[in-house]
C-alpha cells in the first residue's frame, strides 16, 4: 500500500487501477456496484458499493462499502432447474461474475452465448433460445445493481416438464369429470324418482 501522498496523487491523477473504484463512482455520478474482486488483506472475494457525494453540485467525497461476495455467489450457484439447469451472473459488460464453469475473464460472446448477448442489451428481462450442442432456454433479468441474473435449462428438459404438467392437468381434469358425472347421476336419480312417482300417480 502506498503511503507517500505525492506518489498516491500521481496514481490518482493517472487513473491507476488502485484508484479505479473512485473514478468509476465519479464517472457514474451515482451509487454503483463494482466488479467483484479478491481482497488480499482479508483473503476473500468481495464486492464494493461506491457513491460520490456532491455538495451544491461539487464533488466532495466518494464513499464505499466492501461486502464479502460469498453469500451472493452461493445463492446463484445453489439454483437448480430440472435435471441439469443452473444459473449464472454477469456484469454490465457481459462478463461472467458467478458461474460454475466460467470465470471473470470469460464473456457471453467468448463462450458462444451470442443470441443472449444481443438481446440482453435492449431488454430488462426476457427469454431466448441458445443453439449450442443442444438447444437451451435462457431466461434473464437485469438487477438494480446493473448485473444480470440468467437461468439456463435444456429445451428437452423444459418440454418434458411441460408434458408432466400437462399429464397431471389431464389426470386431474379426468378425475373432476368422473366426480362430476357421478354427482350428476346421484342428483339425477334423487330428482327423477319423485317426478316419476308423481307422473305414475297422476296416470
Query: Residue 180 has what pLDDT?
Result: 59
pTM over 0.95: no
Tell me how far apart the alpha carbons of residues 168 and 166 are, in angstroms, rounded to a whole number. 5
Supply the pLDDT for residue 178. Answer: 65
The pLDDT value recorded for residue 20 is 83
pLDDT given at position 108? 92
For residues 113 and 130, the answer to whether their CB atoms sit within 8 Å is yes
Residues 6+ apart with CB under 8 A from 53: 59, 60, 61, 62, 63
How far apart are alpha carbons 89 and 94 in whole angstroms?
Answer: 9
Neighbouring CB atoms inside 10 A of 108's CB total: 24
pLDDT of residue 106: 93
Asked if 29 contacts 57 with a C-beta cutoff of 8 angstroms, the reply is no
Q: Tell me the average confidence (pLDDT) per consecutive run of 10 residues in the chain, 203 residues long.
A: 74 82 84 79 81 85 82 83 88 88 90 89 84 82 84 84 58 61 58 60 63
Amino acid at each position: 500500500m502506498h503511503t507517500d501522498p505525492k506518489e498516491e496523487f500521481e496514481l490518482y491523477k493517472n487513473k491507476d487501477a488502485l484508484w479505479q473504484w473512485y473514478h468509476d463512482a465519479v464517472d457514474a455520478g451515482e451509487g454503483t456496484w463494482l466488479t467483484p474482486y479478491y481482497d488480499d488483506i482479508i483473503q476473500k472475494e468481495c464486492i464494493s458499493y461506491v457513491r460520490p457525494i456532491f455538495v451544491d453540485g461539487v464533488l466532495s467525497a466518494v464513499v464505499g462499502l466492501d461486502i464479502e461476495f460469498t453469500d451472493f455467489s452461493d445463492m446463484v450457484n445453489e439454483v437448480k432447474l430440472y435435471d441439469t439447469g443452473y444459473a449464472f451472473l454477469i456484469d454490465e459488460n457481459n462478463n461472467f461474475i458467478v458461474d460454475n464453469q466460467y470465470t471473470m475473464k470469460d464473456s457471453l460472446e467468448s463462450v458462444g452465448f451470442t443470441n443472449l448477448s444481443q438481446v440482453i442489451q435492449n431488454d430488462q428481462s426476457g427469454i431466448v433460445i441458445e443453439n449450442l450442442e443442444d438447444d437451451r432456454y435462457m431466461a434473464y433479468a437485469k438487477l438494480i445493481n446493473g448485473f444480470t441474473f440468467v437461468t439456463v435449462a435444456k429445451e428437452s428438459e423444459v418440454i418434458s416438464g411441460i408434458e408432466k404438467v400437462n399429464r397431471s392437468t389431464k389426470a386431474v381434469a379426468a378425475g373432476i369429470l368422473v366426480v362430476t358425472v357421478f354427482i350428476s347421476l346421484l342428483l339425477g336419480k334423487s330428482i327423477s324418482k319423485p317426478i316419476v312417482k308423481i307422473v305414475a300417480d297422476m296416470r
